[in-house]
Amino acid sequence: MENETKTAPVTGAAGPSAPGAGMHHLFEPAPSGRSKCRGCGRLIALGELRFGERLPNPFGGGEMTLWFHPACAAYKRPEPFLQALVETSQEVPEREGLERAARGSLAHRRLPRIDGAERAPSGQAKCRSCRQRIERGSWRIRLAFYEEGRFSPGGSVHLDCRRAYFETGDIRDQVLHFSPALGGEERDELQRAFDTGGSGEAPPAEG
Binding site for Zn ion (CB under 5 A): 37, 39-40, 69, 72, 127, 129-130, 158, 161
Closest separation between CB of residue 64 and Zn ion, Å? Answer: 18
Closest separation between CB of residue 4 and Zn ion, Å? Answer: 37
For Zn ion, the closer of residues 49 and 161 by Cβ is 161
For Zn ion, the closer of residues 22 and 153 by Cβ is 153
Closest separation between CB of residue 118 and Zn ion, Å? Answer: 15
For Zn ion, the closer of residues 17 and 132 by Cβ is 132
The total of other beta-carbon atoms located within 10 Å of residue 198's CB is: 13
Closest separation between CB of residue 161 and Zn ion, Å? Answer: 3
Phi, psi of 153 (to 5 degrees): -60, 135
| CA 149, chain centre distance (Å) | 12
Q: Are 53 and 73 in contact (CB under 8 A)?
A: yes
For Zn ion, the closer of residues 114 and 161 by Cβ is 161
Q: Are 149 and 58 in contact (CB under 8 A)?
A: yes
What letter represents residue 80's amino acid?
A: P
Q: Are 116 and 186 in contact (CB under 8 A)?
A: no
